Amino acid sequence: MSQTHAALPWPQLAEARDRLRHIRLRDLLTGEPERVERDVLDLAGMRLDWTRQRLDGAAWQALYALADAARLDQALERQNRGEHVNTTEDRAALHMALRLPRNAQCVIDGRDVVGDVHAVLDAIGNLVQRVHDGSHVGYSGRPVRSVVNIGIGGSDLGPRMVCRALAPLAVPAADGRVLDMHFVSNIDGAALDEVLGQVDPETTLFIIASKTFGTQETLTNARSARSWLLRHTDHPEAVSRHFVAVSTHAERVAAFGIDTRNMFGFWDWVGGRYSVWSAIGLPIALYLGMDGFRAFLAGAQAVDQHVLEAPAAANAAMRMALVDVWNHNLLGACARVVLPYDERLKLLPSYLQQAEMESLGKGVRHDGTAPEHETGSLVWGAVGTDGQHAFYQLLHQGTRWAPTEFIGVAQPEHGLPGHHPILLANLVAQAEALALGKTAVEASAEMAAEGLPEAEVTRLAPHRSFPGNRPSTVILLERLDPQTLGALIALYEHKIYLLATLWGINAFDQWGVELGKQLAGRVLEDFAEPGAGHAHDGATQATIDWLRARLPQ
């Protein structure tokens, strides 16, 4: 399964890197007229533009040779065949099966799962229908007006991000009103408290979303939500009418007190951070309607097909992965900045942060040995124009650099004149500024033209020049709709798996989150009972003692 990376053409890549070290992006952009044709790809309503990467034709060829030698195509086939690419948990990772059409086939562990997937989609469709036509009523007979999704990580970020991104396309229920969507993830009671203060117990549907149904934060919030509901009514059907679950774990759902007839299932071959396409997407289906949810799945499916079929040079996911290898392993970047120039995509950086950092933050390969190359990088970001007035200074002039990913949408969903051209002009300008920079000579000429005295020009020139040569990728969507958003997310998913393949690591486990969880359990016991007997280092013990004296009983 894992590749022998010694056989991969890293030396050729290092040669390309050393040659390009002395060629600036501004020279590449002017000296290679074929860049636009070569480095822009149109796919499923997206325009992917790598022209501002510090790569020339020969470097791309070296990267394609890497893709070839690492057999990325075979890795995709293995994943698609349902092989257990999640080696440490001995599972398939086949979220692509969730977006297959009803007449397709996909066998996982000897079972064709497409029928199961569509049975759950149909059950979701049934609930969506009943909520929208007002026949699913709460304990007092009133229809649902608010939905509160209680989940965390992959059971929160996907539906939260998608509902926000596609809010302008939300489908009204029969009463003409769009559902009021809320998401609670944080164990901090303030989060749930705030939402409960905004909703009406008679008209609220709680979705308890947890793959394992064992996550402390989610279960604590779910219990508090249930107690809140039961403080308002003693109706015997209150919980069954107001709570549904999304999980792979029917027993725990039943133990919590949710009737498993109100449970929407998924499977262990769906990783949490890849689960937005499963029943975890229930809030999306409720908000956008089933047609919207199915269009979201179809957008992703178009990308699945592309990624499986296209050769490296025409394969968007492979090129994204190869660019990351170039920037991180060859040029030494340790972070990547995701900059959506669209308010609707405000939560995309957080979503990708989990998808990428939980998948690629691994320090051992499949076989338990250390990777030969650095693996996952820090992923962070914010909506672009806000970022410009916050952290772009460092991106432009800092001594460290990070490759950036600009994401824009050609069509706005609002009707306010003037805003959108300004927004997108900023996106284009930032990519240009990072790539080209401004030389001291150019900065001096500008200041001289402004009439600054010569001494001032000399003094300020180093401060007012920009090194440039900072690479970026620009992703532009025709419009933001369920298809294009599905396509965009699927593209990132494939990129993540391909990167993991290149590094020889498992993208689908997350053991790194366990230690903190385990220790939190002990600390909690020590808060409750000082002599609980857990040994801590002196600093930790002192912190526990300090807090224990102050925590509310």
Instruction: Enumerate the active-site residues.
Output: 358, 389, 517
Q: How many CA atoms lie within 13 A of 549 on its CB side?
A: 5
Applying CB under 6 A, among 149, 315, 404, 510 the residue interacting with ligand F6P is: 510
- Amino acid code (one letter) for 172: P
Q: Give the Cα separation of 174 and 73 in Å (integer).
A: 47
Beta bridge partners of residue 475, listed in sequence order: 48, 407
221 touching ligand F6P, by CB under 6 A: no
First-residue to last-residue Cα distance in the chain: 53
Between the alpha carbon of residue 463 and those of residues 57, 444, 456, 458, the distances in Å are 34, 11, 11, 10
Q: What's the rounded Cα separation, in Å, for the pair 216 and 475?
A: 37
Contact between 324 and ligand F6P (CB under 6 A)? no
Work out whether 493 is an interface residue with ligand F6P (CB under 6 A). no
Q: Are 182 and 199 in contact (CB under 8 A)?
A: yes
d(CA 135, CA 530): 52
User: CB of 364: closest distance to ligand F6P in angstroms?
Assistant: 18
Binding mask 225-264 for ligand F6P (x = CB under 6 A): ----------------------------------------
How far apart are alpha carbons 128 and 290 in whole angstroms?
7
Q: Is 212 in the site for ligand F6P (CB under 6 A)?
A: yes
Distance CA 245, CA 123 (A): 13
Backbone angles phi, psi at 135, to 5 degrees: -85, -15
Residue closer to ligand F6P by CB (options 90, 450) is 90
- Convert residues 180-209 into a mask of x (bound to ligand F6P by CB under 6 A) and - (unbound): ------------------------------
Q: What is the C-alpha to C-alpha distance for residues 319 and 41, in angstroms, rounded to an integer? A: 10
**Residue number, 202 or 358, with CB nearest to ligand F6P:** 358
Evaluate whether 238 touches 228 at the Cβ level (below 8 Å). no
**Residue 272 touches ligand F6P, criterion: CB under 6 A:** yes
- Binding span for ligand F6P by CB under 6 A among 210-218, 281-289, 321-329, 486-494: 210-218
Task: Please tell me whether residue 218 binds ligand F6P under the rule CB under 6 A.
Answer: yes
Min dist CB 286 to ligand F6P, Å, is 18
Between 210 and 375, CB nearer to ligand F6P = 210
Residue number, 215 or 404, with CB nearest to ligand F6P: 215
Q: Binding marks (x or -) toward ligand F6P, 137..166, rule CB under 6 A?
A: ---------------xxxx-----------
349 is an interface residue for ligand F6P by CB under 6 A: no
Instruction: Name the residues that contact ligand F6P, by CB under 6 A.
Output: 152-155, 210-212, 215, 218, 272-273, 358, 510, 513
